[in-house]
Amino acid sequence: MSRARRRRERVLEQLTELRELPLGGAPGAAFKERLRAELLSGALEAEPEPAAERARRDLPRRRPLLSQLAAVGLAAALMVSSFATYQAVPGDSLYPLKRAAETTLVHLSPGEAERAERELDSAKTRAKEVASLLGSSADGPLVKKTLKDMEESTRSGISRLERAEPRSPKIKKFAREQEETVKPMLQELDEDQLAQAEGYLDYIEGLVAPE
């Protein structure tokens, strides 16, 4: 396995751990220490070679390496920034970074099935965010937007998963979990929000219907 691929997989693992933290949760000391060690390890691996060694390499070969290091560095920076964004909810200034981290996870995932599961994870997160927004002073448009994002992630994730793993039991499992999360919110939604949520429930209930 190439060095660039190993780094890419380490970044993916770290982002996944951050992605799975509950809203309001904080990364533990062990995670922080492991991240620090990973970043230090990457820095040491990227130290300049001795002059005699560098002379053997031409510029075209150095440029791809620099590009790889830049990409890994960007992902690592995003990962570190996630310490401040993992508990963000819609309306927070750091919320766009949280969504960017989720998008990064989808793009870094190696296969269609895994990308589908990342998108379904995002849909679950949107449902939890809706619950956290209910009752706040700015819940109206934010709830509507988050419900819309939840449905878009769900439909995209389900489409990917149906292509990668036809009749996958993961689809019914996801639908049941989402139903348990969304249904208790219905009594707290206004008319427009309720129509969105009920339409979403109709869609996911169709995913668990007997074939």
Question: Mind listing the pLDDT tens digit for each residue in 19-78?
Answer: 555 555 555 566 555 655 554 455 444 444 455 555 555 545 555 555 555 555 555 555
Predicted pLDDT at 176: 94
Q: What is the pTM of this model?
A: 0.64
pLDDT digits (tens, 9 = 90+) for 154-178: 999 999 999 999 889 999 999 999 9
CA distances from 178 to 66, 80, 127, 150 (A): 43, 30, 8, 10
Say if residues 149 and 89 touch (Cβ distance below 8 Å): no
